Each structure stands twice: as C-alpha cells, then as structure tokens.
Structure 1
Amino acid sequence: MQVATTFRHMEVSAPVRDYLQEKLSRVKKYIEEPIDAQAVLSVEKKIRHRAEVTLVAKGITIKGTETTNDMYAAIDAVVDKIERQLKRYKDRLKRHKPLSGRERQVQKTVLKAESVDEEGSSEPIIIHSHSFSVKPMSVEEAVMQMDLLHKDFLVFTNDRNEDINVVYRRKDGNYGLIEPQQGA
C-alpha cells in the first residue's frame, strides 16, 4: 500500500507516520488490489487534531475525516470509519453479481460561467473535460458509492435497464432517483 502523508501546521513526525501506515494496513483484508492512500494530518487552533484519509482502490474512492484532541485517537477513529465503510461495501458487493463488459464512456465537462452568460457568445468556453468509464450498478450500489465519495449526486448506468440514471441526496436527508422516461 502506498501512503502519501501530508503534515499541516505541525512538524513532520516519523512515529505518527509509522502509526498511520500500521493502522491503514488493516484495510488490506477488504481489498486485494493495490491501494493508494493520501493522508492529511493537521492541527487546528493548537488543540484540534484532524486526520483526513482518502483511499483509492479497485475502482472506488473512500474518504474519512475525524477531529479529536489527540492525533493518535484521530487516526484510530478515521481508520475505524474507513474500515466500516469498506466492510459495508464488501458485504453489498457479495449480494450483487458483477456485470463486466457493459461499461460506458462518460465525459464530464466544466464550462466557464462568463461564456454561458454572454449574449454575443455562440459557444460556451470549456475549462476542463474528463472522460471515464461507468460500470452498470444497482440503485442501492450507486447510493452506497455516492455515500463513500461524500457526493451530493452520482450519475450511473442502471444495471436493470442500462439507462443513465442519477441518484441525489435530498435536503430532507433521503435519496432521490432520476430515470429517463421511456417512449414519450
């Protein structure tokens, strides 16, 4: 496992880095693939110790953040949180059949806001564009992936009918699903 550790507002500490790597090695039992981890350890207002860890492995990204009065306790708490998320993810994957070979290519584009507002401009200006594969998944798996990524919405291919769907977090805390209307 590759662990990149960043220290903010505190001195670089080899014992803390070693402790973090030792604790993160526990997640290997949930994912066999190579795992990349980015950790940001920081001290806020000289008393709040914050540990933020992002794991990228096997097509998923899991983030966790914890703040306590002790850096070691913050590391323990964030690793426990990530471990619970991975355990839940692995349990849900066991209940679903993997659907390989039916991935779609999706392109994400970010437009410059001023170019959309200008009346004289015929084409908006593209700032950033990114293509990625989207594997078919169930609605439940999409909600789980959205929670793991700490996002407010997720665009995915529904494994039931192979349509592009969107799940989103509602203001009341529940989830919504947007499906295309068939044959209207």
Structure 2
Amino acid sequence: MQVTITFKKIDASDSLKSYVNKKFKRFDKILDGPAEASVVLSIEKIRHIAEITLTSGALNIHAKEEAESMYAAIDTLVDKVKGQVTKHKEKIKKHMSGNKPSLADALEFGTDEPLPGSMDDNIIVEPLETKPMDIEDAVIELESGKKSFYAFVNARTQQVNVIYKHNNGKLGLIAPQG
C-alpha cells in the first residue's frame, strides 16, 4: 500500500510517520488489489485530527477522527477504516453468491409473504388486478382509495399503466412506449 502522510499545523515527526505506516500496512492483507492512502494529520486548537482517503479499485473510503492525542486519533481511524473495508468485502461477497432468493421467485410462486432468509422482510407482494379498465375508471379507483398511485391494465392498449397523484394535486400516467 502506498501511504502518503501530510502534516498540517504540526511538526513532522518520524515516530508519527512510522506509526501510521505500521498501522496501515496491515491493510495490504485485507485489500484485494493495490491501494493508495493519503493521510492528513493536523491540530486545530486542542483537537488532534487524523483524516484518510483510501482508494483500492472500486473501493473509495474517506474517514476523519478526532481525539485527545494524535496516536488515539490514528487508532480510532484505523478501526473505522477496517470496519468500512470489511463491510465492503461482505457486501461484495453477498452480491457474488448466486444462491439467494429473488423477488421474481416470490412473484412466480404467487405468495404475498416475504421469502424466508431474504434480506428485506419488509416487502409485501400485492397481486395486480388483471381486469382491463379505462383510464377514467382508474382515476375513480385512485381517488376512492388511500393510495397515492394505482396500477391497472389499460383496456385500449392491454398494457400495465400506473396513474399517480403529483405533489401539486395533478394526476400523472405512466404508460409503456411502443
């Protein structure tokens, strides 16, 4: 890992440089590819501030920590960055695993309960009424209900349309092109 250290309003010391290098060299094992880190160490009044911008491929992390001493700020910054890197790696690991259920599977089985083990148990699958209707009938349905939109099958085009209420009180219609 390429580490660049900048000192602002503080004297550059070899002990701080070696401490930062020692702490951030551990990230070579965690990160997949080559990485660059730009560390800024500064003092504002009585606050010791450590700030980092870390880039490694698609991973971009920016973090900032304050503490009573510069070493404490560096330690908490390292912990924060380590948490963000592991969170990113877990996210990629979950995304790359191909055995997770999808919303399309739930729709295929016709259930209105969330899939077991799915990431978002807050999704409620509602069946769409397939009886074709005119736009005027859909407007009546929208205004009679408490929802801010209404999905229906257009009687003229036989395609799914959505009619909704704008914030300004007007109605909008979403219809497929072509």
Scaled by the length of structure 1, the TM-score of the pair is 0.52
Distance 1:76 1:88 in 2: 18
The corresponding residue for 1:68 is: 67
Which residue does the alignment assign to 1:11?
A: 11
Superposed counterparts of 1:1-184, under 5 Å: 1-45=1-45, 47-97=46-96, 183=176
Matched residue SS, 1:79: helix
- Quote the offset at 1:50 in angstroms: 0.1
Asked whether the 8 Å contact 1:2–1:36 carries over to 2, the reply is: yes
- Higher Cα Rg, which structure: 2
1:89 is aligned with what amino acid? H
What is the letter of the counterpart of residue 15 of structure 2? P
Identify the structure with bigger relative contact order (alpha carbons < 8 Å, sequence gap 6+): 1
1-structure distance, mates of 2:58, 2:88: 12
Structure 1 residues 95 and 2, CA gap change in structure 2 (3 angstroms)? same
Unaligned runs of 5+ in 2: 98-119, 121-173
Conserved? CA contact 1:43–1:49, under 8 Å? yes
Distance 2:175 2:64 in 1: 41
Give the equivalent residue in structure 1 for 2:102.
none
Once the two structures are superposed, residues 58-98 of structure 1 have per-residue CA deviations (whole angstroms, 9 ceiling, x without a partner) of 22211111000100000000010000000111111111129
Secondary structure at the residue paired with 1:91?
helix
Q: Secondary structure at the match of 2:79?
A: helix
Distance 1:95 1:6, change over 3 A: same
User: d(CA) in 2 for partners of 1:13 and 1:32?
Assistant: 31
One-letter code aligned to 1:71: M
- Point out 4+ residue stretches in structure 1 off by more than 3 angstroms: none
Higher strand share: 1
Structure 1: 5+ residue stretches without partners: 99-139, 141-180
Aligned length, in residue pairs? 102
CA distance in 1, matches of 2:175, 2:36: 41
What is the CA–CA distance in structure 2 between the aligned matches of 1:91 and 1:23, rounded to whole Å? Answer: 22
- Residues 43 and 183 from structure 1, CA distance in 2 versus in 1: closer, same or farther, beyond 3 angstroms? same
Identity of aligned residues (%): 38
Q: Secondary structure at 1:96's aligned position in 2? A: helix
Cα root mean square deviation, aligned:
1.9
Structure 2: which amino acid aligns with 1:74? Answer: A
